[in-house]
A and B are shown apart, each in its own frame.
Chain A
Amino acid sequence: MAEVDTGLPREGNGEAARRPAAFYSSVFAQIEEVGWDRLVSGKGDGGVSCLVFRVLDDQGRNHLLEITLPMNYPACPPSLMADVPYLPQLQWSKSSRLKDILCQFQEDYWSIMDEIDKVLWVVNPTKPAYAMSHCRIALGNKFHENLSTVLDFALPPPPSVNIEDDKQIDCGICYVKHLPIDDELGDHSGGTTDYTCENPSCSRSFHSICLRDWLRSITTTRQSFDVLFGNCPYCSEPVAVKITDR
Protein backbone atom coordinates (compact mmCIF):
# COMPACT_ATOMS: atom_id res chain seq x y z
CA MET A 1 0.00 0.00 0.00
CA ALA A 2 2.71 2.47 1.02
CA GLU A 3 4.23 2.35 -2.47
CA VAL A 4 1.12 3.69 -4.19
CA ASP A 5 0.56 6.36 -1.61
CA THR A 6 0.70 9.70 -3.44
CA GLY A 7 0.82 11.46 -0.10
CA LEU A 8 -1.26 14.47 -1.03
CA PRO A 9 -1.23 17.04 1.76
CA ARG A 10 -4.40 17.35 3.75
CA GLU A 11 -6.30 20.62 3.75
CA GLY A 12 -4.63 23.22 5.94
CA ASN A 13 -1.84 20.82 6.68
CA GLY A 14 1.53 21.69 5.23
CA GLU A 15 3.11 18.23 5.28
CA ALA A 16 1.83 15.04 3.81
CA ALA A 17 -0.04 13.19 6.53
CA ARG A 18 0.46 9.49 6.71
CA ARG A 19 -2.17 7.09 7.76
CA PRO A 20 -1.53 3.77 9.46
CA ALA A 21 -1.52 0.72 7.21
CA ALA A 22 -4.55 -0.64 9.03
CA PHE A 23 -6.52 2.33 7.70
CA TYR A 24 -5.97 1.29 4.09
CA SER A 25 -6.82 -2.34 4.62
CA SER A 26 -9.93 -1.36 6.53
CA VAL A 27 -11.09 1.06 3.80
CA PHE A 28 -10.38 -1.45 1.05
CA ALA A 29 -12.43 -4.03 2.89
CA GLN A 30 -15.25 -1.54 3.25
CA ILE A 31 -15.16 -0.71 -0.46
CA GLU A 32 -15.36 -4.43 -1.11
CA GLU A 33 -18.59 -4.58 0.90
CA VAL A 34 -20.12 -1.81 -1.17
CA GLY A 35 -18.80 -3.27 -4.40
CA TRP A 36 -15.87 -2.07 -6.51
CA ASP A 37 -18.19 -1.63 -9.47
CA ARG A 38 -19.91 1.22 -7.65
CA LEU A 39 -16.67 3.10 -7.01
CA VAL A 40 -16.27 5.79 -9.65
CA SER A 41 -13.01 7.34 -8.51
CA GLY A 42 -10.71 7.73 -5.56
CA LYS A 43 -8.22 10.48 -4.78
CA GLY A 44 -5.59 11.23 -2.17
CA ASP A 45 -3.84 8.96 0.31
CA GLY A 46 -3.40 6.21 -2.19
CA GLY A 47 -6.79 6.85 -3.70
CA VAL A 48 -8.84 6.28 -0.58
CA SER A 49 -9.29 9.57 1.30
CA CYS A 50 -11.84 10.93 -1.19
CA LEU A 51 -14.09 8.30 -2.72
CA VAL A 52 -16.86 8.82 -5.24
CA PHE A 53 -19.58 6.19 -5.38
CA ARG A 54 -22.38 5.69 -7.84
CA VAL A 55 -25.80 5.43 -6.23
CA LEU A 56 -28.83 4.17 -8.12
CA ASP A 57 -32.15 5.57 -6.87
CA ASP A 58 -35.52 3.85 -7.09
CA GLN A 59 -36.22 5.59 -10.42
CA GLY A 60 -33.08 4.09 -11.93
CA ARG A 61 -31.14 7.35 -11.99
CA ASN A 62 -27.46 7.60 -11.16
CA HIS A 63 -26.28 9.93 -8.44
CA LEU A 64 -22.69 10.56 -7.42
CA LEU A 65 -21.86 10.57 -3.73
CA GLU A 66 -18.49 11.92 -2.75
CA ILE A 67 -17.18 10.70 0.61
CA THR A 68 -14.16 12.37 2.17
CA LEU A 69 -12.49 10.42 4.97
CA PRO A 70 -10.92 12.51 7.74
CA MET A 71 -7.51 11.69 9.24
CA ASN A 72 -9.04 10.12 12.30
CA TYR A 73 -11.56 8.02 10.36
CA PRO A 74 -13.59 6.11 11.52
CA ALA A 75 -13.58 7.86 14.92
CA CYS A 76 -14.83 10.98 13.15
CA PRO A 77 -17.59 10.73 10.55
CA PRO A 78 -16.69 11.31 6.90
CA SER A 79 -18.01 14.38 5.09
CA LEU A 80 -20.41 13.91 2.20
CA MET A 81 -21.03 15.81 -1.01
CA ALA A 82 -23.73 15.08 -3.54
CA ASP A 83 -25.93 16.77 -6.09
CA VAL A 84 -28.97 16.94 -3.78
CA PRO A 85 -31.06 19.77 -2.34
CA TYR A 86 -29.98 18.83 1.17
CA LEU A 87 -28.16 16.01 2.89
CA PRO A 88 -29.70 14.38 5.93
CA GLN A 89 -27.62 14.32 9.11
CA LEU A 90 -25.33 11.30 8.90
CA GLN A 91 -25.92 8.67 11.59
CA TRP A 92 -22.40 7.66 12.55
CA SER A 93 -20.69 5.60 15.18
CA LYS A 94 -17.15 4.23 15.51
CA SER A 95 -18.23 0.90 14.12
CA SER A 96 -20.05 2.39 11.12
CA ARG A 97 -18.81 1.44 7.68
CA LEU A 98 -19.01 2.89 4.17
CA LYS A 99 -21.97 0.70 3.27
CA ASP A 100 -23.93 2.34 6.11
CA ILE A 101 -23.41 5.74 4.48
CA LEU A 102 -24.72 4.49 1.16
CA CYS A 103 -27.72 2.98 2.90
CA GLN A 104 -28.56 6.31 4.48
CA PHE A 105 -28.22 8.09 1.19
CA GLN A 106 -31.83 7.68 0.11
CA GLU A 107 -33.78 10.54 -1.38
CA ASP A 108 -37.41 10.65 -2.38
CA TYR A 109 -37.01 14.34 -3.12
CA TRP A 110 -36.27 13.82 -6.80
CA SER A 111 -39.51 12.00 -7.39
CA ILE A 112 -41.42 15.11 -6.24
CA MET A 113 -39.49 17.35 -8.60
CA ASP A 114 -39.86 14.75 -11.38
CA GLU A 115 -43.60 14.73 -10.82
CA ILE A 116 -43.69 18.51 -11.20
CA ASP A 117 -41.65 18.23 -14.42
CA LYS A 118 -44.07 15.68 -15.76
CA VAL A 119 -47.39 17.27 -14.76
CA LEU A 120 -46.71 21.02 -14.93
CA TRP A 121 -45.23 23.32 -17.49
CA VAL A 122 -41.79 24.14 -16.10
CA VAL A 123 -40.53 27.36 -17.69
CA ASN A 124 -37.03 27.09 -16.27
CA PRO A 125 -34.64 25.48 -15.51
CA THR A 126 -35.12 23.39 -18.65
CA LYS A 127 -32.43 20.93 -17.58
CA PRO A 128 -32.57 21.01 -13.80
CA ALA A 129 -29.77 19.55 -11.70
CA TYR A 130 -30.81 17.11 -8.99
CA ALA A 131 -29.78 19.63 -6.33
CA MET A 132 -32.28 22.20 -7.57
CA SER A 133 -35.26 22.41 -5.29
CA HIS A 134 -36.91 25.31 -7.09
CA CYS A 135 -38.36 25.82 -10.55
CA ARG A 136 -40.58 28.28 -12.35
CA ILE A 137 -43.87 26.93 -13.57
CA ALA A 138 -46.35 28.45 -15.98
CA LEU A 139 -49.54 29.53 -14.20
CA GLY A 140 -52.02 30.21 -16.99
CA ASN A 141 -54.65 32.96 -17.05
CA LYS A 142 -57.01 32.23 -14.20
CA PHE A 143 -54.34 31.65 -11.57
CA HIS A 144 -55.12 34.58 -9.26
CA GLU A 145 -58.81 33.75 -9.36
CA ASN A 146 -58.11 30.15 -8.41
CA LEU A 147 -55.75 31.27 -5.69
CA SER A 148 -58.36 33.65 -4.27
CA THR A 149 -60.93 30.86 -4.30
CA VAL A 150 -58.64 28.40 -2.57
CA LEU A 151 -57.68 30.95 0.08
CA ASP A 152 -61.25 32.26 0.35
CA PHE A 153 -59.72 35.71 0.56
CA ALA A 154 -59.50 38.61 -1.89
CA LEU A 155 -55.86 39.27 -2.68
CA PRO A 156 -54.85 42.91 -2.24
CA PRO A 157 -54.24 44.94 -5.41
CA PRO A 158 -50.84 46.53 -6.10
CA PRO A 159 -49.91 49.21 -3.53
CA SER A 160 -50.00 51.98 -6.15
CA VAL A 161 -53.80 52.08 -5.87
CA ASN A 162 -53.95 52.22 -2.09
CA ILE A 163 -56.47 54.29 -0.20
CA GLU A 164 -54.25 57.34 0.18
CA ASP A 165 -53.90 57.63 -3.58
CA ASP A 166 -57.59 57.02 -4.11
CA LYS A 167 -58.39 59.96 -1.88
CA GLN A 168 -56.38 62.21 -4.13
CA ILE A 169 -58.08 61.24 -7.36
CA ASP A 170 -61.34 59.46 -6.62
CA CYS A 171 -64.51 61.28 -5.78
CA GLY A 172 -65.15 61.27 -2.03
CA ILE A 173 -68.81 60.49 -2.65
CA CYS A 174 -69.02 57.92 -5.44
CA TYR A 175 -65.47 56.54 -4.82
CA VAL A 176 -64.46 56.45 -8.49
CA LYS A 177 -62.43 58.75 -10.68
CA HIS A 178 -64.67 58.62 -13.73
CA LEU A 179 -68.42 59.00 -13.64
CA PRO A 180 -70.32 56.24 -15.42
CA ILE A 181 -70.99 56.69 -19.12
CA ASP A 182 -74.65 57.52 -18.94
CA ASP A 183 -76.88 59.78 -21.05
CA GLU A 184 -78.71 60.86 -17.92
CA LEU A 185 -75.52 62.56 -16.73
CA GLY A 186 -75.37 64.71 -19.88
CA ASP A 187 -72.06 66.55 -20.23
CA HIS A 188 -70.80 64.95 -17.02
CA SER A 189 -70.99 61.42 -18.45
CA GLY A 190 -67.60 59.75 -17.93
CA GLY A 191 -66.15 62.95 -16.43
CA THR A 192 -63.38 63.13 -13.83
CA THR A 193 -63.41 64.88 -10.45
CA ASP A 194 -63.70 68.64 -10.96
CA TYR A 195 -64.22 70.02 -7.46
CA THR A 196 -61.77 70.10 -4.57
CA CYS A 197 -62.61 71.13 -1.02
CA GLU A 198 -60.84 74.45 -0.37
CA ASN A 199 -59.95 73.55 3.21
CA PRO A 200 -56.22 72.74 2.78
CA SER A 201 -56.28 70.08 5.48
CA CYS A 202 -59.13 68.31 3.65
CA SER A 203 -58.63 68.92 -0.09
CA ARG A 204 -61.02 66.10 -0.86
CA SER A 205 -61.89 65.71 -4.53
CA PHE A 206 -65.45 65.34 -5.82
CA HIS A 207 -67.42 65.31 -9.00
CA SER A 208 -69.35 68.58 -8.79
CA ILE A 209 -72.40 66.59 -9.88
CA CYS A 210 -72.03 64.20 -6.90
CA LEU A 211 -71.61 67.09 -4.49
CA ARG A 212 -74.62 68.83 -6.02
CA ASP A 213 -76.77 65.70 -5.70
CA TRP A 214 -75.69 65.34 -2.08
CA LEU A 215 -76.41 68.99 -1.21
CA ARG A 216 -79.79 68.72 -2.89
CA SER A 217 -80.71 65.67 -0.83
CA ILE A 218 -80.36 67.42 2.55
CA THR A 219 -82.53 70.12 4.05
CA THR A 220 -79.75 72.31 5.45
CA THR A 221 -78.51 73.36 2.01
CA ARG A 222 -79.23 76.94 0.95
CA GLN A 223 -79.57 78.12 -2.61
CA SER A 224 -78.78 81.57 -3.99
CA PHE A 225 -79.49 82.04 -7.69
CA ASP A 226 -77.81 79.04 -9.31
CA VAL A 227 -75.38 78.26 -6.51
CA LEU A 228 -75.89 75.69 -3.73
CA PHE A 229 -74.26 76.46 -0.36
CA GLY A 230 -73.60 73.65 2.06
CA ASN A 231 -70.83 71.82 3.86
CA CYS A 232 -68.12 69.42 2.78
CA PRO A 233 -69.27 65.90 3.78
CA TYR A 234 -65.79 65.23 5.17
CA CYS A 235 -64.60 68.35 6.98
CA SER A 236 -67.87 70.34 7.23
CA GLU A 237 -66.20 73.47 5.85
CA PRO A 238 -68.52 75.55 3.61
CA VAL A 239 -68.67 74.49 -0.01
CA ALA A 240 -70.50 76.04 -2.94
CA VAL A 241 -71.39 74.40 -6.24
CA LYS A 242 -73.07 75.81 -9.28
CA ILE A 243 -76.21 74.09 -10.46
CA THR A 244 -75.43 73.34 -14.05
CA ASP A 245 -78.17 72.27 -16.39
CA ARG A 246 -78.37 68.59 -17.00
Chain B
Amino acid sequence: MTSSSSPSRKALSKIACNRLQKELAEWQMSPPSGFKYRVSDNLQRWVIEVTGAAGTLYAGETYQLQVDFPEHYPMEAPQVIFLNPAPMHPHIYSNGHICLDILYDSWSPAMTVSSVCISILSMLSSSPAKQRPQDNDRYVRNCRNGRSPKETRWWFHDDKV
Protein backbone atom coordinates (compact mmCIF):
# COMPACT_ATOMS: atom_id res chain seq x y z
CA MET B 1 0.00 0.00 0.00
CA THR B 2 1.13 3.51 -0.72
CA SER B 3 -0.94 5.18 1.91
CA SER B 4 2.13 6.99 3.19
CA SER B 5 2.67 8.64 -0.17
CA SER B 6 2.93 12.38 0.22
CA PRO B 7 3.62 15.29 -2.08
CA SER B 8 7.05 16.90 -1.91
CA ARG B 9 6.99 18.08 1.67
CA LYS B 10 7.79 21.73 1.29
CA ALA B 11 6.70 23.79 4.25
CA LEU B 12 3.45 25.72 3.94
CA SER B 13 3.67 29.30 2.69
CA LYS B 14 2.51 32.07 5.00
CA ILE B 15 -0.67 32.42 2.98
CA ALA B 16 -1.36 28.67 3.16
CA CYS B 17 -0.68 28.68 6.90
CA ASN B 18 -3.10 31.55 7.58
CA ARG B 19 -5.79 30.03 5.46
CA LEU B 20 -5.48 26.58 7.06
CA GLN B 21 -5.62 28.04 10.54
CA LYS B 22 -8.88 29.75 9.59
CA GLU B 23 -10.26 26.56 8.06
CA LEU B 24 -9.37 24.59 11.16
CA ALA B 25 -11.00 27.16 13.45
CA GLU B 26 -14.12 27.10 11.29
CA TRP B 27 -14.10 23.29 11.29
CA GLN B 28 -13.88 23.17 15.06
CA MET B 29 -16.76 25.60 15.34
CA SER B 30 -19.01 23.65 12.98
CA PRO B 31 -17.53 20.35 11.83
CA PRO B 32 -19.30 18.72 8.85
CA SER B 33 -21.53 15.97 10.21
CA GLY B 34 -20.09 12.48 9.89
CA PHE B 35 -16.49 13.71 10.18
CA LYS B 36 -14.08 13.95 13.07
CA TYR B 37 -10.77 15.77 12.88
CA ARG B 38 -8.02 13.85 14.66
CA VAL B 39 -6.26 16.55 16.67
CA SER B 40 -2.57 16.94 15.89
CA ASP B 41 -0.04 19.74 15.82
CA ASN B 42 0.69 19.19 12.14
CA LEU B 43 -1.24 21.77 10.17
CA GLN B 44 0.04 20.35 6.88
CA ARG B 45 -1.42 16.87 7.33
CA TRP B 46 -4.92 16.39 8.65
CA VAL B 47 -6.26 12.95 9.46
CA ILE B 48 -10.05 12.91 9.39
CA GLU B 49 -12.35 10.13 10.48
CA VAL B 50 -15.41 9.64 8.30
CA THR B 51 -18.42 7.56 9.28
CA GLY B 52 -20.70 6.15 6.56
CA ALA B 53 -24.12 7.79 6.52
CA ALA B 54 -27.13 5.89 7.84
CA GLY B 55 -29.13 4.10 5.18
CA THR B 56 -26.16 3.72 2.80
CA LEU B 57 -23.89 0.75 2.00
CA TYR B 58 -21.28 2.15 4.41
CA ALA B 59 -23.62 2.90 7.33
CA GLY B 60 -21.74 2.86 10.61
CA GLU B 61 -18.39 1.97 8.99
CA THR B 62 -15.48 4.22 9.81
CA TYR B 63 -12.64 5.15 7.46
CA GLN B 64 -9.76 7.57 7.69
CA LEU B 65 -8.97 10.31 5.24
CA GLN B 66 -5.49 11.77 5.06
CA VAL B 67 -5.33 15.32 3.73
CA ASP B 68 -1.90 16.73 2.79
CA PHE B 69 -1.57 20.38 1.87
CA PRO B 70 0.88 21.67 -0.74
CA GLU B 71 3.12 24.67 -0.10
CA HIS B 72 0.85 26.91 -2.17
CA TYR B 73 -2.52 25.77 -0.90
CA PRO B 74 -5.22 26.87 -1.88
CA MET B 75 -3.79 27.64 -5.34
CA GLU B 76 -3.24 23.90 -5.57
CA ALA B 77 -5.64 21.21 -4.40
CA PRO B 78 -4.87 19.25 -1.25
CA GLN B 79 -3.92 15.60 -1.72
CA VAL B 80 -6.72 13.51 -0.25
CA ILE B 81 -6.46 9.74 0.12
CA PHE B 82 -8.06 7.04 2.25
CA LEU B 83 -5.75 5.34 4.73
CA ASN B 84 -5.68 1.55 4.63
CA PRO B 85 -8.22 -0.03 4.56
CA ALA B 86 -9.95 2.12 1.95
CA PRO B 87 -13.70 1.64 1.47
CA MET B 88 -14.80 -0.66 -1.37
CA HIS B 89 -16.16 1.77 -3.94
CA PRO B 90 -16.13 1.93 -7.77
CA HIS B 91 -14.10 5.19 -7.59
CA ILE B 92 -11.75 4.35 -4.75
CA TYR B 93 -8.63 2.30 -5.46
CA SER B 94 -7.33 -0.19 -2.96
CA ASN B 95 -4.31 2.03 -2.32
CA GLY B 96 -6.66 4.77 -1.08
CA HIS B 97 -6.56 6.99 -4.16
CA ILE B 98 -9.89 8.63 -4.95
CA CYS B 99 -11.13 9.37 -8.45
CA LEU B 100 -13.01 12.63 -7.80
CA ASP B 101 -12.68 15.63 -10.11
CA ILE B 102 -12.67 18.32 -7.40
CA LEU B 103 -9.48 16.85 -5.97
CA TYR B 104 -7.66 17.40 -9.26
CA ASP B 105 -8.85 19.34 -12.36
CA SER B 106 -11.94 20.89 -10.81
CA TRP B 107 -10.32 22.15 -7.62
CA SER B 108 -10.95 25.80 -6.84
CA PRO B 109 -9.82 27.92 -3.89
CA ALA B 110 -13.51 28.47 -3.16
CA MET B 111 -13.53 24.90 -1.84
CA THR B 112 -12.44 23.94 1.64
CA VAL B 113 -11.42 20.79 3.46
CA SER B 114 -14.93 20.74 4.82
CA SER B 115 -16.61 20.97 1.40
CA VAL B 116 -14.25 18.31 -0.01
CA CYS B 117 -15.15 15.98 2.86
CA ILE B 118 -18.85 16.48 2.18
CA SER B 119 -18.30 15.64 -1.52
CA ILE B 120 -16.46 12.45 -0.59
CA LEU B 121 -19.21 11.39 1.80
CA SER B 122 -21.86 12.02 -0.85
CA MET B 123 -19.79 9.98 -3.30
CA LEU B 124 -19.78 7.11 -0.80
CA SER B 125 -23.47 7.51 -0.09
CA SER B 126 -24.50 7.24 -3.75
CA SER B 127 -22.47 4.07 -4.36
CA PRO B 128 -24.56 1.31 -6.00
CA ALA B 129 -22.24 -1.56 -4.99
CA LYS B 130 -19.21 -2.25 -2.83
CA GLN B 131 -16.64 -2.96 -5.51
CA ARG B 132 -13.22 -1.76 -6.68
CA PRO B 133 -12.70 0.19 -9.92
CA GLN B 134 -12.27 -2.12 -12.96
CA ASP B 135 -8.65 -1.05 -13.48
CA ASN B 136 -7.76 -1.30 -9.79
CA ASP B 137 -4.90 -3.81 -10.07
CA ARG B 138 -3.21 -2.08 -13.01
CA TYR B 139 -3.53 1.36 -11.42
CA VAL B 140 -2.24 0.28 -8.02
CA ARG B 141 0.72 -1.49 -9.68
CA ASN B 142 1.64 1.73 -11.51
CA CYS B 143 1.55 3.70 -8.26
CA ARG B 144 3.89 1.35 -6.46
CA ASN B 145 6.68 3.90 -5.99
CA GLY B 146 4.55 5.99 -3.67
CA ARG B 147 3.23 8.15 -6.45
CA SER B 148 0.76 10.84 -5.44
CA PRO B 149 -2.73 10.63 -6.94
CA LYS B 150 -2.17 14.19 -8.09
CA GLU B 151 0.35 12.87 -10.63
CA THR B 152 -2.28 10.64 -12.17
CA ARG B 153 -3.97 11.90 -15.32
CA TRP B 154 -7.50 11.19 -14.22
CA TRP B 155 -10.29 10.44 -16.61
CA PHE B 156 -13.60 11.40 -15.03
CA HIS B 157 -16.04 9.31 -16.98
CA ASP B 158 -18.88 8.75 -14.58
CA ASP B 159 -20.71 11.59 -12.94
CA LYS B 160 -23.50 9.45 -11.51
CA VAL B 161 -21.61 8.12 -8.49
B110 touches A154 (CB 8 A): no
Residue A238 lies at the interface, judged by CB distance under 8 Å to chain B: no
B25 touches A234 (CB 8 A): no
Instruction: Decide yes or no: A213 and B29 within 8 Å by CB, A174-B15, A233-B110 being known contacts.
Output: no
Interface segment among B43-51, B68-76, B93-101, B140-148: the answer is: B68-76
B110 touches A217 (CB 8 A): no
A233 touches B29 (CB 8 A): no
Residues of A contacting B19 with CB < 8 Å?
173-176
Residues of A contacting B25 with CB < 8 Å?
154
B22: contacting residue among A176, A213, A214, A217, CB under 8 A = A176
Residue A210 lies at the interface, judged by CB distance under 8 Å to chain B: yes
Instruction: Kindly supply a per-residue 1/0 record for chain B positions 111-133, scoring 1 wherever the CB is within 8 Å of any chain A CB and 0 otherwise.
Output: 00000000000000000000000
Task: State A174–B19 Cα separation when bound (angstroms).
Answer: 5
Main secondary structure of the interface of A (DSSP, over half): loop
B29 touches A156 (CB 8 A): yes
Instruction: Kindly supply a per-residue 1/0 record for chain A positions 167-200, scoring 1 wherever the CB is within 8 Å of any chain B CB and 0 otherwise.
Output: 0000011111001101000000000000000000
Measured CB to CB, the closest approach of chain A to B26, in angstroms, equals 7
Residue A119 lies at the interface, judged by CB distance under 8 Å to chain B: no
Measured CB to CB, the closest approach of chain B to A156, in angstroms, equals 6
Task: State A217–B76 Cα separation when bound (angstroms).
Answer: 7
Task: State A174–B72 Cα separation when bound (angstroms).
Answer: 10
B28 touches A175 (CB 8 A): no
Instruction: Kindly supply a per-residue 1/0 record for chain A positions 18-45, scoring 1 wherever the CB is within 8 Å of any chain B CB and 0 otherwise.
Output: 0000000000000000000000000000
Instruction: Decide yes or no: A172 and B110 within 8 Å by CB, A213-B72, A213-B75, A217-B75 being known contacts.
Output: yes
A-B CB contact pairs (8 Å), 12 listed: A163-B26, A173-B19, A173-B75, A173-B109, A174-B15, A175-B18, A210-B109, A213-B72, A213-B75, A214-B75, A217-B76, A234-B110
